[in-house]
Amino acid sequence: MKNVILKTNFDIEGVKNIYHGKVRDVYNIDDKYLLMIASDRISAFDVVLPEGIPYKGQVLNLIASMFLDATEDIVQNWKIALPDNMVTFGVLCEPYKVEMVIRGYLTGHAWREYKAGKRMLCGIPLPEGMKENEKFPQPIITPTTKADQGHDEDISREEIIKQGLVSEEEYTLLEEYTHKLYQRGCEIAAKRGLILVDTKYEFGKNEGEIYLIDEIHTPDSSRYFYKEGYEQAMKNGQQPKQLSKEFVRQWLLDNGFSGQDGQKIPEMTAEIVNNISERYIELYENITGESFLRSDISNILEKAEENVKDFLEIYFKR
């Protein structure tokens, strides 16, 4: 399909290496800058699905860009510019080997652990008698290790410091930034009639300074509830209406796929692909409060490469 970007191999001067992640292609330029392409690949259960989703990369890249701009007064971030709707250009940082997950509500992985009888998550004690999707008395940080392959693993603050993954002084700063970023995200979400349920942040260092890196507050890295109907759903023992890519995981589960060995990914028909695309556009419009402009996506790969090259030529004055 020419209306999606599944993989890039841009011919760019100064590229040291290219990393093809589950959904992003990342170019190291001169060991100083990063060029991150938000592809239209989609993953679930740590598996990249066979079909690309039109507009998905643009949705994620533009949401992340908006929130990076909206939080730069809290902590500096890696973004320099957007050469294309699917591309972010920024500062190369050395990532910390932990992801800062923050949860305001007992849902997802935290609920599954709680339901199994655990009352401690990443060294944080959990109150007795809580219900699924109930709000915590205070948001909790439940960090994970950042795995190069496979699943990230829960880890406690104490273990992070003990293993030397992050110094105690810097980890205290990461916690402070995480709480402030989440609070800002909650405030923005509330204005849109949403609840920011949980999310994750990644940080890195450049020349001794801490930067917020990667994406933030996107539906791939965060979970949202619609504020309207949340209290009623909790009273009735029902699931609050979500705004996340959970619908993709649910579609896979309904069709017998949960990422286990030997399972077959269900057929992604044109109708399924279009439905997922429309849901991502709905996510964008609800999260940003703006209408999504559907640009011409014919030959989108060639256009993105051209935009990137034009931008870099001007930026580096080559």
DSSP 287-314: HHSS-------TTHHHHHHHHHHHHHHH
We report the CATH number of the domain holding residue 150 as 3.30.470.20
Classify residue 12: in a domain, yes or no: no
The string of pLDDT tens digits covering residues 38-76 is 999 999 888 999 999 999 999 999 999 999 999 999 999
Classify residue 272: in a domain, yes or no: no
Provide the pLDDT confidence category of residue 280 given band limits of 50, 70 and 90: very high
- Can you read off the two tokens belonging to residue 118? 């655990």
Provide the pLDDT confidence category of residue 207 given band limits of 50, 70 and 90: very high
The pLDDT assigned to 81 comes to 98
Classify residue 130: in a domain, yes or no: yes
Number of other CB atoms surrounding residue 97 within 10 Å: 15
Classify residue 90: in a domain, yes or no: no
Classify residue 9: in a domain, yes or no: no
How many domains does the chain fold into? 1
Classify residue 62: in a domain, yes or no: no
Burial of 6 (0-12, 13-18, 19+ CB in 10 A): middle
The pLDDT assigned to 147 comes to 65
Asked whether the predicted pLDDT for residue 126 surpasses 60, the reply is: yes
- Which residues form the domain of 214? 95-243
The pLDDT assigned to 46 comes to 85
Query: Would you say 203 and 177 are in contact if contact means Cβ atoms under 8 Å apart?
Result: yes
The string of pLDDT tens digits covering residues 130-160 is 999 999 999 999 999 986 555 679 999 999 9
**Average pLDDT score over the chain:** 94
Asked whether the predicted pLDDT for residue 318 surpasses 70, the reply is: no
Classify residue 205: in a domain, yes or no: yes
Asked whether the predicted pLDDT for residue 1 surpasses 60, the reply is: no
Classify residue 147: in a domain, yes or no: yes
- Per-residue pLDDT, averaged over 115-136, amounts to 97
* Separation of alpha carbons 61 and 81, rounded Å: 11
Asked whether the predicted pLDDT for residue 224 surpasses 70, the reply is: yes
Number of other CB atoms surrounding residue 262 within 10 Å: 4
- Per-residue pLDDT, averaged over 8-19, amounts to 94
